[in-house]
Amino acid sequence: MRALNPKYLPLLLLVLLAPTGNSQEPPEAIDLQASSSTYDRDSGHLVFAEVTIKQGEMSVSANRAEATELEFENAAWVFTGDVRISTEETLISGQKAVVDFQDHRLVRATISGEPATINWESSEKDEAITGQASELIYDRESGTLSLVGDATLSSGSSEISGSTLLYDFNAEQIVAGSPDQESDGVRITITPEDFEPRESKETGTDESLQAAEDES
């Protein structure tokens, strides 16, 4: 796939890079805070209200969270209502999220909404990258975000959209669609900044000439 000139499109459309390997460093402590918690004996579920879970720079918050046990070794937590997953530079939000923990690490999150959104502000770039889709799938280990269903990513005057997009945070690259699945294609929109129509200049010149002829 041909790479687009980054001068005109900061979001590069390239081939998917191989994911990075798992970190060998020990997991950081996980901190959970909630306004209240209850245990449902019938379902065996723990329920937390107004909950926030933090691990390092990663934070997950929601109006409600459910889990089958208070362990993070190998568990899936379900968050609902005003879900926010944030890091130092990234904010992902939606109405529901399923977050997977393995070996006490938050490794994957699937966020859905109408739409689910992301805002990423790089300290090395002046313009933020924003996106939205019916579903966002964030993989922390590989550093990728998949946008599925009416997906859009934009930065400054550039926008790319398609049925499925994948963004690599580390490489700052995008893959549109999948070679293994049917796709509606990709659409790229570039809006020129401070653009002055050529016609207005020509009109002004014609009017000046006409005024000079009338005076003579």
pLDDT at 30 over 50: yes
Q: What's the one-letter identity of residue 197? A: P
Look at residues 64, 29, 35, 60 and name the one whose alpha carbon lies nearest to residue 47. Answer: 64
User: What is the structure's pLDDT at 8?
Assistant: 30
User: What is the structure's pLDDT at 212?
Assistant: 52
pLDDT band at residue 61, thresholds of 50, 70 and 90?
very high
What is the set of domains in the chain, with CATH numbers? 12-215 (2.60.450.10)
User: Over the chain, what is the mean pLDDT?
Assistant: 76
pLDDT band at residue 136, thresholds of 50, 70 and 90?
very high
Look at residues 163, 158, 157, 193 and name the one whose alpha carbon lies nearest to residue 175. Answer: 163
pLDDT at 183 over 60: no
pLDDT at 149 over 80: yes
pLDDT digits (tens, 9 = 90+) for 65-120: 999 877 788 888 999 999 999 988 889 999 999 999 888 888 889 999 999 999 98
pLDDT: which is higher, 49 or 68: 49
CA distance 93 to 117: 5
pLDDT at 55 over 50: yes
Q: Beta strands of the chain (E only): which ranges?
A: 12-13, 30-33, 36-40, 45-55, 58-67, 74-86, 90-102, 105-120, 129-139, 144-155, 158-168, 173-176, 186-190
User: What is the structure's pLDDT at 213?
Assistant: 56
* Mean local confidence (pLDDT), 51-59: 90
